[in-house]
Amino acid sequence: MARKHSKHDPYEELHRAEQAPAVAPPCWLCSRPTGKTIVWHHPVPKSRGGRDVVPMHSICQQTLIANFTNSELQRNGMDVENLLANPAVRKFVDWVANKDPDFTATIAKKPR
């Protein structure tokens, strides 16, 4: 008679991963835990040679895109402190600090 379960379950790791609670990575910009939706953002835009990605909320990514050009993002690179030195970004991060991780809103574009 055949075994009901194999001694060496090929999906054993998958089943263990489902049982363990997943820890949400913190957002690169605001440091809040990410929610159900994680945006993998290129701090240095791909068009400018960026390869690294960081986890972010979509609202945080929209804020960066609204306040900085690709050239400015390239100059700042992975330095989040330079981005937070911008008064508009600092005001946003302070405002969003107490919001739910899955909070979303429309971000106004900066006039160019």
**Rounded to the nearest 5°, which phi and psi values hold at 41?**
-100, 140
Cβ atoms of residues 43 and 31 within 8 Å: no
What are the tens digits of pLDDT across the range 18-31? 554 567 899 999 99
What are the tens digits of pLDDT across the range 28-66? 999 999 988 899 999 999 999 989 999 999 999 999 999
How many CB atoms neighbour CB 27 within 10 A? 24
> What's the CA gap between 55 and 87, in Å, rounded?
22
**Mean pLDDT of all residues in 59-77:** 92
How many CB atoms neighbour CB 76 within 10 A? 18
**Mean pLDDT of all residues in 98-102:** 88
**Rounded to the nearest 5°, which phi and psi values hold at 40?**
-95, 105
